[in-house]
Amino acid sequence: MLRHTITAALLFAVVTNTCSAHKLWVLPSQTQFSGNDSWVTVDACASNDLFYFNHVPLPLQYLAIVAPDGTKAEAVNKSMGKYRSVFDLELTQDGTYRIALMSKFVFASWEEDGKPRRWRGLADELAKEMPADAKGLKVSESLGRLETFVTKNDPTTDAIKPTGDGMEMIPVTHPNDLYVGEEATFKMLVNGEPGKDLELTIVRGGTRYRNNLEEQKVTTNAKGEFSVTWDKPGMYWLSTSGKDEKTSSPEAKVRFLMYSATLEVLPE
């Protein structure tokens, strides 16, 4: 429970840009598979160095996997270690899987008996924790999505349909069809609508072993679209954040949004 609370606080710090040194991510062992007996192993972590395990694991209770036919798929061999969480997924269907860690929390602060009180949890738990006469009440929400995509044999898109809640990325270029030297285009949505003027950060893995982050910054256009041309192969981390007022708790006035995806770029 303590590590879950730490992760919730870390997520809130990331989406409010107060802890930019830490990156939250999921990392598949690979993203393209062929044949019949196919498995993927996925790590989940918050770290200082991208795709390097050196901070805290991410809890898996909000793991959501969509199979190529749109049904729910189940992970196996789930484990939370000191620095990372890990799970396996058997790819029983042909097509593309969407693997996401969701996080939806409420953060509240108030004064109780003359002392400051802070609380983190789910929206439907707030009323039980907060006194009716809470003074100086401040409430905010956060909604985060960390995801990746893996494909067995030919790529499909049924699993990547938008949910309409928070930040999401839908393909113009398929996320498992990325190659060095080729331009890829994606579309960001916020609550199902084009996410225009969003700034995205794109970083290739292996930052621990180079002095220059080689960070790219791109901004979405009026359609919510952005493009990037990959100059090197590897696993890439893509991230953006924002906020709105579409809260689920009546006490909350603002909702912080965060999105990140791990994409694999292959040699040409």
Q: Which tens digits make up the pLDDT trace of 20-64?
A: 567 999 999 999 999 889 999 999 999 989 999 989 999 999 999
Tell me if 169 sits within 8 A of 261, measured CB to CB: yes
Q: Which of 11-20, 123-132, 162-171 has the highest mean pLDDT?
A: 162-171
Within a domain: 179: yes
Report the number of distinct structural domains present in the chain: 1
Higher pLDDT, 69 or 246: 69
pLDDT value for 21? 61
Average pLDDT over residues 162-178: 96
In a domain, 27, yes or no: yes
What percent of the chain is predicted at pLDDT more than 70? Answer: 92
CA 163 centroid distance within chain: 14
- Per residue in 193-224, pLDDT (tens digit) is 999 999 999 999 999 999 998 999 999 999 99
3-class secondary structure, 93: coil
What confidence tier does 132 reach under pLDDT thresholds 50, 70, 90?
confident
Q: For residues 21 and 27, give the distance between their C-alpha atoms in angstroms, rounded to a whole number.
A: 18
Give a yes or no: residue 41 inside a domain.
yes
Beta bridge partners of 148: 99, 262
Q: Identify which has the larger pLDDT, 1 or 158.
A: 158
Q: What is the CATH number of the domain that holds 242?
A: 2.60.40.1930
Please check whether residue 29 lies inside any domain of the structure: yes
pLDDT digits (tens, 9 = 90+) for 219-240: 999 999 999 999 999 999 999 9
Contacts of 186 (CB under 8 A, 6+ apart): 169, 170, 171, 172, 173, 175, 225, 226, 227
No. of helices (H) and no. of strands (E), the chain:
2, 19
Residues 6+ away with beta carbon under 8 Å from 180: 230, 231, 232, 233, 265, 266, 267, 268
Q: Which residues pair with 66 in a beta bridge?
A: 72, 98
Predicted pLDDT of residue 18:
38
Q: Indicate whether 47 belongs to any domain.
A: yes
Average pLDDT, the chain: 90
Mean pLDDT of 178-199: 97
pLDDT > 70? residue 192? yes
d(CA 221, CA 215): 20
Which residues are within 8 A (CB) of 209 and not within 5 positions of it... i.e. 6 or more apart? none
| Residue 121 belongs to a domain | no
Task: Give the strand pairing for 193-194 and 183-190.
Answer: antiparallel
| pLDDT interval class at 96 (50, 70, 90) | very high
Cβ-contact 259, 188 below 8 angstroms: yes
The mean pLDDT value for 112-123 works out to 84
Q: Is residue 197 part of a domain?
A: yes
CA 199 to chain centre: 16
181 or 9, greater pLDDT? 181
Provide the pLDDT for residue 136: 86
Domain range for 251:
2-105+139-265
Does residue 128 surpass a pLDDT of 90? Answer: no
pLDDT at 151: 98
Lookup: tokens for 196: 């225009």
Q: H helices within the chain, ranges in order?
A: 2-15, 126-129
